[in-house]
Structure 1
Amino acid sequence: MHDGIRAFVGVPLPQEYQAAIGELGAWRSRLASRTTWTRPGNWHVTLRFLGELSPQKLDEVKVALGGVAFAPFSLRAGGGGMFPRRGKPRVVWIGVEEGRQELVRLADAVNRALLPLGFAEEGRPFSPHLTVCRVREARGDRWAALIDALSDREWASVPVDRFTLWRSTLTPQGAQYGVVSEYGATSV
């Protein structure tokens, strides 16, 4: 048994977005593939996955993230796609149409704050997205119909004035998230 705390940094999404992920879950019954859908209440934009942290390291992360400055901005989801772009999908996602550059800058600021604590730089460029589902086993579905449905949906523009350090506890029912700390926007 380990006493590590599984943690990540992300931007919380408002209730109207949380309700929408529940509606999108109706696609589950239309797919033959084995999928795990994001649960309402858990939907967010991940800025950085941190992995298992000791309580001491978590305290250091909390302090380091307190130094991240960013101005409030607006976010609006739009479009959709899959990772990887070709072949069998592993993740189905919704893109970010408004606030994309601001999210990239915020993720960069989070990563710079964590570098002195021994967190390595990410190996790939940050691509802001909202995970809809993870594909555990692809079974010949026509993914284009789902991607079209995601792309056709209209999303509201919502304010982003904070980011969150979350604890993620894995359970048989899926991940459960708990807020460790929140960090508000500043004038930069």
Structure 2
Amino acid sequence: MLKAHYFFALSLPEETKRYLNDCMEPMRLEGSFKKWVHPEDYHLTLAFLGSAAELVPVMDKVGRLRHPSFPLTLSGFGTFGKSDSPRILWMGVEPSDMLHRLKDLVFGACEEAGFQLDQRPFSPHITVGRKWNEEAPFTQEWLNGYKPPERHTFTATEVVLYQTHMDRLPKYEAIHTIPLQAN
């Protein structure tokens, strides 16, 4: 059996998950990526913990954080990986000082609890697909053909500790929820 992994993320409202799923449908029908993220698994990662023996201290530290809820606006698709064969397709969010502040608070609480976290710069995104699946090389022109039909804004209202279950769909289980303060 695969080891469970854990991460803190912003959950997304159901309306935002439906919007993302609708934006993905043309690409999914085309089969342009090998794997598609289940709509219930859409999230915005703040801190990836990996496997963990003891979660109570980190849940306690993150649970004590105080941060207001805040709006985020989706900004369009992008990719990570090789320019001609990306490994990740994502939907980004417009720059947000509030998001970066929350990420820093969560990240710091996780480090205080003893977790060694990835030090790469924060690149806020929602993963929607994995592994380019076409014979022809990926191009930015191809991706530009799938611009979202309209802007979508949602309110970030909670940080969730998720557990990964690689053997099922959806594969992320919310095991602890920390509400953000209402404005």
- TM > 0.5: yes
Pairing 1:111–2:107 present: yes
Pairing 1:181–2:176 present: yes
Alpha-carbon separation, structure 1, partners of 2:113 and 2:159: 19
Alpha-carbon separation, structure 1, partners of 2:115 and 2:134: 33
Alpha-carbon separation, structure 2, partners of 1:183 and 1:63: 10
TM-score (norm 1): 0.83
TM-score (norm 2): 0.85
Counterparts of 1:109-148 in structure 2, within 5 Å, are: 109-135=105-131, 139-144=135-140, 147-148=143-144
Alpha-carbon separation, structure 1, partners of 2:68 and 2:151: 22
Give the total of aligned pairs: 182
**Structure 1 unaligned blocks of 5 or more:** none
Alpha-carbon separation, structure 1, partners of 2:153 and 2:79: 23
Contact 1:164–1:179 under 8 Å retained in 2: yes
Q: CA RMSD in A?
A: 2.5
Contact 1:94–1:150 under 8 Å retained in 2: no
**Structure 2 unaligned blocks of 5 or more:** none
CA offset digits 1:51-73 (Å, max 9, x no partner) = 1112xx11122112112221211
Identity within the alignment, %: 27
Aligned to 1:94: 91
Alpha-carbon separation, structure 1, partners of 2:163 and 2:156: 20
Alpha-carbon separation, structure 1, partners of 2:131 and 2:41: 17
Aligned to 1:81: 78
